[in-house]
Amino acid sequence: MSTTPPPQALTPDAQPATGELPDDDGALAWLRALGPRGRRAFAGAFGGYALDSYDYFTLPLSMVALAAYFGLDSGQTGLFTTVTLVVSAIGGALAGVLADRIGRVKALMITVITYAVFTVACGFAPNYETLLVFRALQGLGFGGEWAVGAILVAEYASAKHRGRTLGAIQSSWAVGWALAAIMYTLVFSFVGDDLAWRIMFWTGALPALLVIWMRRRVQDAPEAIAVRERSTNKGSFAAIFKPGMLRTTFFAVLLSTGVQGGYYTLATWVPTYLKTERGLSVVGTGGYLTFLISGAFLGYLTGGYLTDRLGRRRNIWLFALLSAVCILAYANIPDGSNTLLLVLGFPLGFCMSAIFSGFGSFLSELYPTAIRGTGQGFTYNTGRAVGAVFPTTVGFLADSWGVGGALVFGAIGYGLAALALLGLPETRGKELA
């Protein structure tokens, strides 16, 4: 039985949201299948998530300088990450509701403006407490950007290529991370630490330029607009907890908690680990992060391909196991083996990123259109908030175990993610409706 949608009237600039070319299996078939509007939506979501990543990593990369400037211990610095991620759960849930009620693009612009404004504000913080508040408020925008952008693109993508399309969106996180690492290397090489961390935050104003472009060029998928206009139950938190959806919501939160607990443990503490326990300079740390980030970029793209070939659940199973193994290996490299540390950074970045590639397609396919934003925003960001306990735990354990030893705690998160998959269905090939 054919799953091809019925013909629709098209404007010269539009295609159906699932405008796939049936016989097109080339390397860029997923991009061609989006159509002109879908490609603009892809560009907006890609840029938004890359700059979201850039703004997020200004803190971990500046952590050592911040700790010295404000006289902070490991627990206090870990709290920066925790409040960002906890508040991001609120921001993500609210952004998901907004996406269902006012549209994907409008909600996306609101999230980008929010995280940009408060990232810049962090650079003006006079004390630890103020910085903590500004970082928490930055989390409001940070929490919503990915979920809204992923839904926007998922609703244009074909079922056949949705994993690869959303995997490409995920790869923009590595792009933003790389930009932050380059800026960190330049700023901290030429400016004293007391001013350099402020400059890093001030560069977070860049996303404002993206919003201007998005306002004129990006639109929601026509089918999503039609569903939103006729739905009477859009953007409802109650709907994702009804008997038919409660199981899905519970296990999706558990999955998100495990994957993000492991990821943010590494994202937060690896730069500090390289500087304090491995004794690397600013330039040396940047060099090691290059391997980690390069692995992450290729991991996102590879994971997107595999999530279409293997299925959503198998892809996450595979990389949950490999990520846990890589953490254990990376944290137990003996002293004096910094070359091995450099080499292992690539598979570590690859595995911990490939597991994310299926998230955008998987979570989008678990919920119907009318509550897709609410469901994806809530589950992804609640998992992020609960997973925030992991970096803080590492911060407190670091004083007695050392940062390297405490990183092992992140492997527990990947085990939790593997267990969560037992309660979720496979959704590969599902049409969004």
Average pLDDT over residues 45-61: 89
pLDDT: is 279 or 323 the higher one?
323
pLDDT of res. 388: 75
Average pLDDT over residues 49-65: 89
Q: Whole-angstrom Cα distance, residue 54 to residue 245? A: 34
With a pLDDT cut of 90, the percent of the chain lying above it is 39
Mean pLDDT of the chain: 83
pLDDT tens readout for residues 149-162? 989 999 999 888 99
pLDDT of res. 347: 87
- Which range among 64-68, 75-79, 146-150, 319-323 shows the weakest confidence by mean pLDDT? 75-79
pTM of the model: 0.78
pLDDT of res. 11: 36
Q: How confident is the model at residue 7 (pLDDT cuts 50, 70, 90)?
A: very low
- Look up residue 40 and give its amino acid: R
pLDDT tens readout for residues 350-406? 998 899 888 888 999 999 888 999 999 899 888 888 887 777 777 677 666 665 656
Whether residue 263 is predicted with pLDDT greater than 90 in this model: the reply is: no
pLDDT of res. 70: 94
Whether the CA torsion 313, 39, 90, 242 is positive or negative: it is negative
pLDDT: is 253 or 329 the higher one?
253
